[in-house]
Amino acid sequence: MPYFRARTLDELRDQAAEQGAAIALDDELTPLFEPIRIGGRTAASRMAVHPMEGCDGNADGTPGELTRRRWRRFAEGGAALIWGEATAVVPEGRANPRQLLITPQTLPALRRLLAETRAARRAAFGSLDGFIVGLQLTHSGRWSHGGPVIAQHGQAIDAIRRCEARPVISDDDLQRLEERFVEAAVLAHEAGFDFVDVKQCHTYLINELLGARTRPGRYGGDYESRTRFIRNVFAGIRARLGENIVLATRLNAFDGVPYAGQRGVGAPAPHERPYLAAWGTDVYDPTQPDLSEPLRLVGDLRALGLQLLNVSMGSPYFNPHLGRPFERAPVDGYAPPEHPIAGVARHVALTGQIQRAYPDLPVIGTGYSWLRHFALHAGAANVRARAVSLVGLGRGALAYPDFARDALARGALDPNKACIGVSYCTALMRAKHNEHGQYATGCVPRDRLYAEALKQARVSEGWS
């Protein structure tokens, strides 16, 4: 039986109550239509597109045809803020061979991508007023496709991708990477992006450093050492660019512990206790969050110039139910160990704690897509309650890029356009056996182009 069974807001309220999920739903979307100041800029509404990677760039790290198509569709779709996708700062930090890369050589192509995105927005709405576009800078760490770059070792996390024999990245190499992140931010500014995000979520390199309690040296152990990298990068960007670009980050509030159970219900994988390899996580019960350090870091980054925060959690590689509550398990994953609505409620609760601790900081909430065409009703309720500043859709935007346009025009979303959480986009991200070494990803149920790609992937990957 499907998890999602609500035809009306009241039915969704009843379903949330049955599951003990604290999710408020506003009857109207009007709280999302108000502008908001972000640094020295203004977003025309509270609706955003999350950094949704399409795995569709060229081999040299420049945007491909499908990259440009996706960004144009987001621009035409009406969201006030587009959080541009993960873009590696060094070639060896790419998560797949089609991930974007920012270097002096790729800068002209990224500049063209941004110009095309803004042109699409202007053509659709007549101006660029209230439209903000940023770029996410990343290093994929242990998930780098050319070979894992390890920040720390741990029993449970090493078991996901066999890395026990691989040495951790040196302190000197990390210091050089700090400089590369700063240089990449300068390039993003030169390209014309409104903001730059230093990515520290989803167990990629910087996120993994945050939890590296067992790592020796300058970047592991106590809180000050584990946060040294991100604080140095923020300070370096501000020193180079001053207030000329909005400084943002997408931050995991809660990493959690790896889960196992492929083709079965997920359960925590064997792990040591205390569990010392995760950020924002109770070391004695790593299935539960502990926000004491994430809250502290947000305050430290505010002092270094943080102006926009996007809150996420979990890892798409080993506990995807935390980050993106789903209806159907991904091809390489497990059935959800909880009702997806409980995962949505966790996002709402943790993001609300951070927003209330920093009420003057624009905070974007995550985890809404499973709510389908009622996602923005939950977002509106949270904005009204000052539990979040803006609401973003990720998978939901792949399925329904014009969600904000429909919300503004109709006051509601179309159930026949909304994401249904069946993880086919994830399946395409996991598919590698084609001439590019990576399939492009998008919404299979809502976009015929990706439906055909999934048919091909089923054959090439040998999926039943």
Can you give the residue ranges of every domain in the chain? 9-421
Q: Residue 405 pLDDT > 80, yes or no? A: yes
Cα dihedral: 384, 387, 392, 394 (round 10) = -130
Q: Which CATH superfamily is domain 9-421 in?
A: Aldolase class I (3.20.20.70)
Beta-carbon contacts of 196 under 8 Å, excluding residues fewer than 6 positions away, are 134, 135, 137, 184, 185, 188, 189, 237, 245, 246, 247, 248
pLDDT for position 176 = 98
Q: Per the structure block, which two tokens stand in for 313?
A: 């959690």
- Predicted confidence band of residue 315 (pLDDT cuts 50, 70, 90): very high
Mind listing the pLDDT tens digit for each residue in 345-393?
999 999 999 999 999 999 999 999 999 999 999 999 999 999 999 999 9
pLDDT band at 159 (very low <50, low <70, confident <90, very high): confident
Question: Could you tell me which of 238, 275, 239, 237 has the C-alpha nearest to residue 254?
Answer: 275
Q: For position 216, what pLDDT does the model report?
A: 95
Q: What is the pLDDT of residues 9-31, one digit of tens each?
A: 999 999 999 999 999 999 999 99
Q: What is the mean pLDDT of residues 217-233?
A: 98
pLDDT value for 1:
65
- For the stretch 91-119, pLDDT in tens is 999 999 999 999 999 999 999 999 999 99
Query: Average per-residue pLDDT in the chain?
Result: 96
pTM of the entire structure? Answer: 0.97
pLDDT, average across residues 134-152? 96
Per-residue pLDDT, averaged over 68-73, amounts to 98
Choose the weakest-confidence range: 33-37, 246-250, 387-391, 459-463.
Answer: 459-463
Cβ 75 vs Cβ 33: under 8 Å: no
Give the model's pLDDT for residue 163: 76
pLDDT band at 45 (very low <50, low <70, confident <90, very high): very high
pLDDT digits (tens, 9 = 90+) for 316-343: 999 999 999 999 988 888 999 999 999 9
Q: Which residue has 């069974």 as its token pair? A: 5
How confident is the model over 206-221, as a mean pLDDT?
Answer: 97
pLDDT at 401: 98
Give the rounded percent of residues in the chain with a pLDDT score beyond 90. Answer: 94
